[in-house]
Amino acid sequence: MSQPSEHGATAASSLPAPVPGQHEHSSLTKLTSGVAATGARGEMGEALLEVRGLQKHFPLTQGIVFKRTVGHVRAVDGVDLTLRRGETVGLVGESGCGKSTVSKLIVALEKPTAGSIFFKGRDVARMGGRALKDYRREVQIIFQDPYASLNPRMTVGDIVAEGWSVHADVAPKKGRLKRTQELLDRVGLNPDYVNRYPHQFSGGQRQRIGIARALALQPEVIVCDEPVSALDVSVQAQVVNLLEDLQDELGLSYLFIAHDLSVVRHISDRVAVMYLGSIVEEGTADEVYSSPSHPYTQALLSSVPLHEPALRGQKDRILLQGDVPSPADPPSGCRFRTRCWKAQDVCATDPPQLVDRGQGHPSACHFAEARMVVPVEAE
C-alpha cells in the first residue's frame, strides 16, 4: 500500500467491521495490485454508489415521417439505492419492473431522465471526458445472455483484453497475454484456451469469460444483470460460488439484479424489491425475507415454490389477481394498489414514501406490517 490510510493492510483484520453482516477484509492479491497503486481501497462500508430519485422515461412515438410523442413508458420512476464497499445489494422484481434499465443507467449506457447517480460522491451526469472514462472502468457489468454478450468473431483472449485498448494504463502492453491467462485461470477456465472462440464453450464457461472481461479492468463495482438465469441448475451454483470468492478476494461490490428470489437471498447482504419502476421495500436479506412488510413483497415471496416436502402447504398463500399494469399508464398514488388487498382511498391519492413505519426497515406502503410468509427452516 503506497497511500497512508487509517488502517494499513495488516491492521485491517483487527478493526471491527463497520457494518455488521459484511464480508471480512480480504488480502489484496496480485490482481488488484494495480488498483492499490492508483489509489488505495477505502474502508469497508463506505458508500460507493448512491442513486437518488433515478428516473428513465422512454418516449412512445406515433407516425412514420413526422414522429410525435404520444406518451412515455416510465421504466424507472424514482429509484433510490446505496451500494457500499464490499457488499452485495440484490435488486429483485418481475419482468418489466425496470430492473435492467436501472443497470443500464448505472453503467452509463443510458442517460437518466431525472435523478442522479453519485460514485464516491461525484455526480456521474456531470463527469466528462477523463472522469467518465475512469467511472466506466470502475463500474463493470456482466450480462444475462452468455451467448449474445460475447462477440463470436473474437477469441476469448481478445474479448478479455479488449478493455485494455481503451484503458491502456491498467495493463502494460508487454504482459497482457500473461494477465489474460491469469484472469482465465482465476475464473476457472484453462489458460490455454485464450485462442478459442466463444462457440467452443458451454453456457457456464461463457459466463466465466464475461466475468473475466469485467475483472480485467480492476473494477470496484460489478453490476450483475441476471448472471445465472440462463444457466442450468447444476452450473448456476458454480458461477454463484465464483462470484462470492472473487468478492472475498478482491473486495468487490455487486449490484446483483435477478428475478430468482432464492439466488438473491443466498448472495445478497441487502435486498431491494422493485415493482413497476420503483422500489417498494428495502432491507437486509433477513429483514426482507423473514419479515416482509410490503404486500407486494409478501405476495412475491409466497409464490416461490419451496423445496422441502416437510414445509409444503405451510406457507401463507397469497395469490395476486391480474397482471402488472402498463408502465406507460401507471396507477395514481401507490403503483401496487390495483392488485393490493389492503388498498384504501389514500392509496390512490398519496404515493407512499419508502420509509420505516415501525416494521424495522423501509417499505413503501401506507399500511406496512411485517408478516412472515415463508416458513423458516428448522435447522
Partner 1 sequence: MTNLDLTKPTAELADQGTPLLEVDDLHVEFRTRSGPVHAVNGVSYSLAARETLAILGESGSGKSVSAQAIMGILETPPAVITGGGIWFQGRNMLEMPAEEQRKIRGPGISMIFQDALSSLNPVYSVGFQIGEMFRAHRGMGKKEARKRAVELMDRVRIPAAARRVDDYPHQFSGGMRQRVMIAMAIALDPRILIADEPTTALDVTVQAQVMDLLKDLQEETGMGLILITHDLGVVNEVADNVAVMYAGEIVERGTVDDVFTRPAHPYTDGLMSSVPQVESKGGRLQPIVGQPPNLARIPSGCPFHPRCSRRRLGAEAAPGRECSTDVPPLRLVVPGREAACHYSEEVLGVPAQ
Buried/exposed 316-332: b ≥16 CB within 10 Å, e otherwise: eebebeeebeebeebbe
* Minimum separation from the CB atom of position 183 to partner 1 (A): 21
* Minimum separation from the CB atom of position 305 to partner 1 (A): 3
C-alpha triplet 86, 20, 292: angle, nearest 5°: 95
Are 219 and 186 in contact by the 8 Å Cβ rule? The answer is no
Q: Look at residue 81 and give its three-state secondary structure.
A: strand
- DSSP H helices in 163-307: 163-166, 176-186, 203-216, 233-250, 261-267, 285-290, 295-303
Read off the C-alpha cell for 162: 479488449
Are 115 and 53 in contact by the 8 Å Cβ rule? The answer is yes
* Minimum separation from the CB atom of position 330 to partner 1 (A): 16
Interface ranges with partner 1 (CB under 8 A): 94-95, 202, 204-205, 232-238, 240-241, 244, 259, 261-263, 265-267, 285-286, 289, 299-312, 317, 319-320, 322-323, 374-377, 379
* Minimum separation from the CB atom of position 314 to partner 1 (A): 10
Nearer to partner 1, 124 or 288 (CB): 288
* One-letter identity of residue 133: K
* Minimum separation from the CB atom of position 320 to partner 1 (A): 5
Distance CA 263, CA 268 (A): 8
Distance CA 52, CA 106 (A): 11
Nearer to partner 1, 124 or 267 (CB): 267
Nearer to partner 1, 323 or 350 (CB): 323
* Minimum separation from the CB atom of position 324 to partner 1 (A): 8
Read off the C-alpha cell for 295: 404486500
* Minimum separation from the CB atom of position 250 to partner 1 (A): 18
* Minimum separation from the CB atom of position 173 to partner 1 (A): 35
Distance CA 181, CA 193 (A): 8
Read off the C-alpha cell for 62: 406515433
Contacts 24+ apart (CB under 8 A), 238-242: 238/188, 238/204, 239/204, 239/207, 239/208, 239/211, 240/266, 240/267, 242/187, 242/188, 242/208, 242/211
* Minimum separation from the CB atom of position 232 to partner 1 (A): 4
Is the four-CA dihedral 323, 327, 329, 333 of positive or negative sign? positive
